[in-house]
């Protein structure tokens, strides 16, 4: 047990080093982690590390899905619901069918049932790599929202296809009508279980005397409860976590204290970072184990099959993305659509963002070793190797070329009518105006009597005058004055921090209070530096 713990601590240290290297090289960290895992797999210390599919499905998947659901904008999700659901369900099923027939025609002895099994394994794209790349190269926010929304749902549909195909292979029977009914039952009841458990947790947040620490712990337990109960009754644990996560995310302002709303994102971002890092590194570490198990064909043939299936997946997704754009233009005559003229630029990028990830590898590893008590499962090793090649090709090849594709296509953000920087000033102006109006209407009699309220009123007036000036200034003038202000303000914050450290050496000042004000300075610096990053992005 101690050896295993030390090994995983070593893996986390390696992950940190590789992520820092990725940042230095300006590459998406999932690509560097997979390649780093491949390099480590040839070393004696890590060559025996094997992914347990149960570990991935139960330990890693629920929190990663929950964090993604928590970060998803329900407004954007609902706005692009038709695109998201079409790619998460019909397109995943269509992709599984294409892979099934392609592998049936390409691989000698491969049956259609095995083809559908492989299709269910490799059909769902993973959003982590794509969104990580898109944060480094500016793309429309709408595209990121669609990719994130698709990734929340497509794992569920692909795993259901995988489950039915696995039953067909092991039993030799497949009833289409029964499969369709079971498909919708698994999806609907999985969603309902997630919503019910989400409501239970919501009631706990609202009615019991929680603290910020308890709120964070409850948020860590929620995805596991949702996933476990759904899977226990053989329904979709993925959709249970997604539905429950979206429900609680949409109620966060009511159910969490302000301390919980500050602490939870920090805890979850750290947990998500470590889990994603381990997942991508473990993918690369599987190479020796997977390669050594191939028996049905030669290694060269297996690589050829993997490359061919990868090409089929890439072409299918691109055609589906462009086809969806044409279909939207046709349907705008009959229904209201979010974008009546998607064009070709966004669909090209969306089609290229089809990287596969750990869910595919975990599904392949969960294929049983034996078909029955005596016969081995047919082509299991080849399915596992093809899945690995698909993940490697889509992550590395598509991931490395994604920034170049985005720069060449140069998509326009046609859905944001007001620039983000201007939106921010308008929001702050509206908040200041609402606050001033409230003070004038409710506490006008206390303004001349209470010095603190009067100072607050004066500060709000100054803020409002500043925001009006920001909105009226020319862009060049505003940019120069803002950069100068940010630079000087950061210097002032550093001087305040230095002075607080000096005060901490004196016995009469409580260190906890000093730390409190240091934290406030850190929060203020974070706000200023986030604005600087936004300016650089623009």
State the Cα–Cα distance between residues 503 and 353, nearest whole angstrom. 53
Is the residue at 225 inside a domain? yes
Of 409, 431, 466, the residue that ends a domain is: 409
For residue 332, tell me if it sits in a domain: yes
| 344 plus 445 within the same structural domain | no
Residue 364 lies in a domain: yes
Residue that terminates a domain, selected from 409, 443, 459: 409
Q: How far is CA 264 from CA 67, 216, 366, 468, 491, in A?
A: 10, 6, 33, 34, 30
pLDDT tens, 23-43? Answer: 888 888 888 998 998 888 888
Judge if 179 and 250 occupy the same domain: yes
What pLDDT, on the 0 to 100 scale, is given for residue 140?
Answer: 79
Same domain as 511, residue 384 = no
Q: In this structure, are 404 and 526 located in the same domain?
A: no
Q: What is the pLDDT along the chain (538 residues), one digit of tens a residue?
A: 667 678 778 889 999 999 999 988 888 888 899 899 888 888 887 777 777 777 778 888 899 889 888 888 888 888 888 888 888 888 988 999 999 999 999 999 888 889 989 999 999 888 676 777 776 677 777 888 888 888 888 878 888 888 888 888 877 666 666 667 777 888 899 999 999 999 999 999 999 998 889 999 999 999 999 999 999 998 888 899 999 999 998 888 888 887 888 788 888 889 988 988 888 888 888 877 788 777 778 888 999 999 999 999 999 999 999 998 888 888 777 777 767 777 888 889 989 988 888 788 888 888 887 777 777 888 888 998 999 999 999 988 988 888 888 888 888 766 666 666 677 778 888 888 888 888 888 888 888 888 888 888 888 888 888 778 777 765 555 566 667 777 888 888 889 888 888 888 888 888 888 888 888 888 888 877 777 665 555 4
| Other Cβ atoms closer than 10 A to 17 | 12
Q: Is 327 exposed, middle or buried (0-12, 13-18, 19+ CB in 10 A)?
A: middle
Domain boundary among 409, 431, 459: 409
User: Contact at 8 Å (CB) between 354 and 316?
Assistant: no
Residues 363 and 490 in one domain: no
- Domain assignment present for residue 116? The answer is yes
Angle at 8 between CA 3 and CA 10, to 5 degrees: 95
- The DSSP call for residue 395 is I
Q: Global pTM? A: 0.83
- Do residue 401 and residue 485 come from a single domain? no
Answer whether 436's CB lies under 8 Å from 460's CB: yes
Is 414 contained in some domain?
no
Q: Of how many residues is the chain composed?
A: 538
382 and 484, same domain (yes or no): no
Judgement on whether residues 459 and 333 belong to the same structural domain of the protein: no
Return the pLDDT at 533: 62
Question: Does residue 424 share a domain with residue 405?
Answer: no
Cβ–Cβ under 8 Å, residues 307 and 116: no
Residue numbers of the domain that contains 521: 420-537
In a domain, 55, yes or no: yes
Considering the domain architecture, whether residues 141 and 275 belong to the same structural domain is answered as: yes
Count of domains for the chain: 2
**Are 475 and 365 in the same domain?**
no
Alpha carbons 292 and 279: distance in angstroms, whole number: 21
Question: Using the 8-state DSSP alphabet, how is residue 368 labeled?
Answer: -
If asked whether residues 469 and 369 sit together in one domain, one would say: no
CATH number at residue 312: 1.20.1530.20
């Amino acid at each position: 047990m101690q050896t295993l713990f030390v090994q995983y601590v070593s893996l986390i240290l390696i992950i940190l080093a590789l992520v820092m290297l990725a940042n230095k090289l300006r590459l998406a960290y999932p690509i560097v982690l997979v390649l780093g895992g491949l390099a480590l797999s040839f070393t004696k210390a890590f060559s025996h590390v094997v992914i347990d599919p149960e570990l991935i499905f139960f330990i890693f998947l629920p929190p990663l899905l929950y964090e993604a659901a928590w970060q998803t904008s329900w407004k954007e999700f609902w706005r692009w619901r038709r695109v998201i659901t079409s790619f998460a369900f019909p397109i995943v099923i269509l992709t599984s069918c294409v892979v099934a027939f392609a592998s049936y025609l390409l691989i000698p002895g491969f049956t259609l049932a095995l083809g559908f099994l492989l299709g269910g394994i490799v059909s769902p794209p993973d959003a982590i790599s794509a969104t990580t790349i898109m944060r480094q190269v500016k793309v429309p926010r709408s595209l990121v929202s669609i990719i994130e929304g698709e990734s929340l749902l497509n794992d569920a549909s692909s795993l259901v296809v995988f489950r039915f195909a696995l039953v067909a292979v092991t039993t030799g029977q497949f009833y289409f009508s029964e499969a369709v009914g079971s498909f919708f039952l698994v999806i609907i009841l999985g969603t309902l279980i997630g919503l019910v458990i989400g409501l239970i947790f919501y009631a706990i947040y609202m009615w019991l005397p929680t603290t910020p620490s308890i709120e964070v712990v409850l948020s860590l337990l929620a995805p596991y409860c949702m996933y476990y109960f759904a899977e226990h009754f053989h329904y979709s644990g993925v959709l249970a976590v997604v539905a429950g996560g979206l429900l609680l995310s949409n109620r966060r302002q009511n159910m969490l204290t302000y301390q919980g709303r500050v602490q939870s994102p920090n805890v979850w971002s750290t947990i998500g970072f470590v889990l994603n890092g381990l997942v991508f590194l473990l993918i690369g570490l599987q190479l020796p184990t997977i390669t050594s198990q191939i028996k049905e064909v030669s290694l060269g043939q297996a690589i050829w099959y993997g490359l061919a299936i990868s090409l089929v997946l890439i072409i299918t997704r691109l055609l589906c993305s462009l086809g969806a754009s044409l279909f939207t233009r046709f349907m705008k005559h009959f229904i209201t659509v979010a974008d009546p003229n998607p064009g070709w630029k966004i669909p090209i990028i969306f089609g290229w963002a089809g990287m596969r990830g750990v869910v595919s590898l975990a599904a392949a590893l969960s294929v049983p070793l034996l078909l029955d008590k005596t016969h081995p499962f047919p082509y299991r090793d080849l399915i596992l190797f093809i899945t690995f090649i698909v993940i490697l090709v889509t992550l590395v090849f598509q991931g490395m070329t994604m920034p170049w594709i985005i720069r060449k296509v140069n998509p326009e953000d046609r859905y944001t009518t007001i620039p983000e920087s201007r939106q921010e000033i308008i929001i702050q102006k509206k908040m200041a105006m609402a606050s001033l109006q409230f003070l004038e209407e409710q506490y006008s009699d206390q303004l001349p009597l209470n010095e603190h309220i009067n100072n607050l009123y004066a500060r709000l007036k100054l803020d409002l005058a500043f925001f009006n000036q920001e909105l009226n200034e020319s862009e060049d003038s505003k940019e120069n004055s803002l950069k100068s202000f940010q630079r000087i303000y950061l210097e002032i914050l550093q001087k305040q921090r230095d002075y607080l450290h000096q005060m901490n050496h004196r016995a009469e000042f409580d260190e906890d209070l000093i730390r409190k004000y240091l934290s406030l300075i850190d929060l203020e610096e974070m706000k200023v530096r986030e604005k600087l990053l936004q300016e650089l992005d623009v």
